[in-house]
Structure 1
Amino acid sequence: MNESQEGPGPVPRGEARRAAILEAAGRLFADRPYDALSIDEIATAAGVAKGLIYYYFASKRGLFLAVIQQAAEALNTLAEEFGDLSPTERLTRTLDGFLWWADAHRSAFQTITSGGVGVDAEVIDFYHRVRHRLQAALSLGLTGERVPPPTLRVALDGWLSFVEGATVSWLAGGDLDRDEVRDMAVRVLGGVLQAVGAAAHDDADRSP
Structure 2
Amino acid sequence: MRTRLSTEQRREQLLAIGAGLFAARPHDEVRIEEVAEIAQVSRGLLYHYFPTKKEFFAEILRTHRDRLLAMSEPDPSLPVAEQLRLGLDVYLEFARTHPDGYRIVHRSADDADREIREICAEGVYANAERILAVVGRVREVTPVTRLAVRGWLAFVAALILDWLDEPKISQDELRDLCVRTLFAAVDVAPSAVSGEVREGPHTGI
Band of TM-score, shorter chain: 0.7 to 0.9
CA contact (8 A) 2:80 2:135 kept: yes
CA shift, 1:34, in A, is 3.5
CA contact (8 A) 2:33 2:43 kept: yes
Q: Give 1 or 2 for the bigger CA radius of gyration.
A: 1
Does the alignment pair 1:17 with 2:4?
no
CA contact (8 A) 1:71 1:108 kept: yes
Bigger proportion of residues as helix: 1
CA shift, 1:141, in A, is 1.8
CA distance in 2 between counterparts of 1:29 and 1:168 reads: 15
CA distance in 2 between counterparts of 1:156 and 1:34 reads: 29
Does the alignment pair 1:184 with 2:165?
no
Which structure ranks higher in relative contact order (CA pairs < 8 Å, sequence separation ≥ 6)?
Answer: 2
Aligned partner of 2:65 in structure 1 is 72
Aligned partner of 2:148 in structure 1 is 155
User: Structure 1 residues 31 and 89 mapped into 2: Cα distance closer, same or farther (>3 Å)?
Assistant: farther
Aligned partner of 1:112 in structure 2 is 105
Q: TM-score when scaled to structure 2?
A: 0.75
Q: Residue type matched to 2:76 in 1?
A: G
Aligned partner of 1:206 in structure 2 is none
CA deviation map 1:50-95 (0-9, x unaligned): 2111112112222111111101112222332533322212211211
Unaligned runs of 5+ in 1: 1-11, 203-208
CA shift, 1:137, in A, is 0.9
Unaligned runs of 5+ in 2: 193-199
CA shift, 1:185, in A, is 0.6
Aligned partner of 1:46 in structure 2 is 39
Q: What RMSD in Å do the two structures reach over aligned CA positions? A: 3.1
Aligned partner of 1:6 in structure 2 is none
CA distance in 2 between counterparts of 1:168 and 1:141 reads: 25
Aligned partner of 2:55 in structure 1 is 62
CA deviation map 1:84-130 (0-9, x unaligned): 32221221121122122223333433332233685222221011111
CA distance in 1 between counterparts of 2:165 and 2:15 reads: 26
Count of residue pairs the alignment pairs up: 189
Q: Percent identity?
A: 27
User: Structure 1 residues 100 and 139 mapped into 2: Cα distance closer, same or farther (>3 Å)?
Assistant: same
